[in-house]
Amino acid sequence: MALLLLLLILLLIGGGIWAWPLLAAALGLSSVTDKAGALRHIGQLMRTYDISPAEVETAHRAALGAGNLPGKRSRGEIARTLFTYLGAIFIVAGVGTYLGSFWDAMGSIMRVLVTLGTGYVLLMVLLAALHRDRYPGLILPLTLASAVITTCGWYVFLDELLPQSDDWRGATLFVCGVMAIQQCVLLAKYGRTVLAFTTLLYLYGFMQVGLDKLGIDIAYIAIVLGASLFLIATALEKTAHRILAEPALLIGLCWLNSGLFDRIAVATASHWAALLVGVSVMLAAYGLSGRYPRLTALGYFVGSVMAYAGLFDLVEGTPVELVYLAVTAAALYGCVALESRALLLTTVIAMLGFIGYFSAEHFADSLGWPVTLMLMGCAFLGVGALALRVKRRI
């Protein structure tokens, strides 16, 4: 009975993908099934609405001249999309309900067939869609669904094959290796961006687990893999997959700097690690300025927060506390030069916070210090206005 239900599910997945477009086409073009039928339909419309061949030719040329401008979707396209979404929802719901209800009652072979088999059925549907290139909207969900389900299927296969083994690193290494090879082959054949994404995901999963299994420290792994991902992201900028460059740069920088922070903190102290890694992040943000404004703003914000926090921990309670105020004043000039609002926000907060701290520590209950601060503020405002006038005259 269970095997019969599995075959029914597989038939729904495999056959339904082809049945829905045919049904949708039938709703949109009930009597047109080939070229001859299409010509007869066109002739009937011409006779009904008294359209001359010259008018048809004019309309055809106008359509060619309009290029690929989006037009109103036909009833067939709308129905096909609707049936596709409904079918996918019901299939996923059915498979999920079946697995949840009968998982404990299944045998090992049945569990593998239901998970790994479903994943490879989806892969065959994906290959058909890629080969025919007629359903571009299905490529992304099919790729992700087949990758996720196939990955789960391989884990189920290994768990059923080696039930007593607790070597999760070996299992992950095998699964990521198999999936990486599979996605690399698909990427080489079809060159889709989503396939580039899944290829990188499985490759880096394989390398992460493999290096960890060799006993290499996690911080060194983060530095090596983060730096390599950063280089790959810069190379992706010159390819058709450039949309992956920005998230890859973000992940690579976070990965790299997390490893650097750990190593510097172990070798020295956490405040030195925060200061140096914060400066490193800001330098990376400066290098990305002009190309990725969102990454630049995020890098300036996170890097400056880390740098200011680390610097304050270094100078707090020492004779050189005022160095912090000098650094923030110099950074304020950098904010203006770089035209960075994110850096300006953190710099102003750091400067005001330090002034509040310094006042509470050294000038508590003193009237002269607040007055001095206000006079200094007025002086700076006057200097700024004078500098602006001089710049305009120059």
What's the pLDDT at 266?
A: 92
Is pLDDT above 70 for 275?
yes
- In angstroms, the CA 60 to CA 52 distance is 13
Please report whether residue 303 resides in a domain.
yes
Q: How many CB atoms are located within 10 Å of the residue 36 CB?
A: 9
Lowest mean pLDDT among 100-104, 126-130, 358-362: 358-362
The separation between CA 151 and the C-alpha centre of its own chain, rounded to angstroms, equals: 19
The reply to whether 57 falls in a domain is no
Q: What's the chain's average pLDDT?
A: 80
Domain assignment present for 347: yes
Question: Is residue 357 included in any domain, yes or no?
Answer: yes
Residue 46 lies in a domain: no
CB 124 within 8 A of CB 182: no
Q: Regarding predicted confidence, which is higher, 389 or 348?
A: 348
pTM attached to this predicted model: 0.71
Give per-residue pLDDT as tens, 29-74: 444 556 776 777 687 777 766 787 877 777 777 765 544 444 555 6
Alpha carbon distance 84, 24 (integer Å): 9
Q: What is the per-residue pLDDT for 393?
A: 54
Query: Per-residue pLDDT tens for 356-371?
Result: 787 777 766 666 666 7
Is there a domain that residue 353 lies in? Answer: yes
The 3 state secondary structure assigned to 279-324 is: HHHHHHHHHHCCCCHHHHHHHHHHHHHHHHHHHHHHHCCCCCCHHH
Nearest to 260 by CA among 230, 234, 300, 297: 230
Apex 216 CA angle, 212 and 218, nearest 5: 70
The radius of gyration of the chain's CA atoms, rounded to the nearest angstrom, is 32
Distance CA 330, CA 282 (A): 15
Per-residue pLDDT reduced to its tens digit, 69-97: 445 556 666 777 777 777 777 877 877 78
Number of domains in the chain: 1
Q: For residue 286, what are the domain limits?
A: 271-362
Amino acid at position 208, single letter: Q
Tell whether 326 is covered by a domain: yes
Q: Which one, of 133, 149, 143, 178, lies nearest residue 10 by Cα?
A: 149
Residue 350's closest CA among 317, 284, 304, 300? 304
Q: Is the pLDDT of residue 175 over 90?
A: yes
Q: Retrieve residue 212's tokens.
A: 């960890």
Q: Over 60: is that where the pLDDT of 264 sits? A: yes
DSSP 244: G
Domain contains 275:
yes
Give me the pLDDT at residue 380, please.
65
**Angle 264-265-270 from CA coordinates, rounded to 5°:** 125
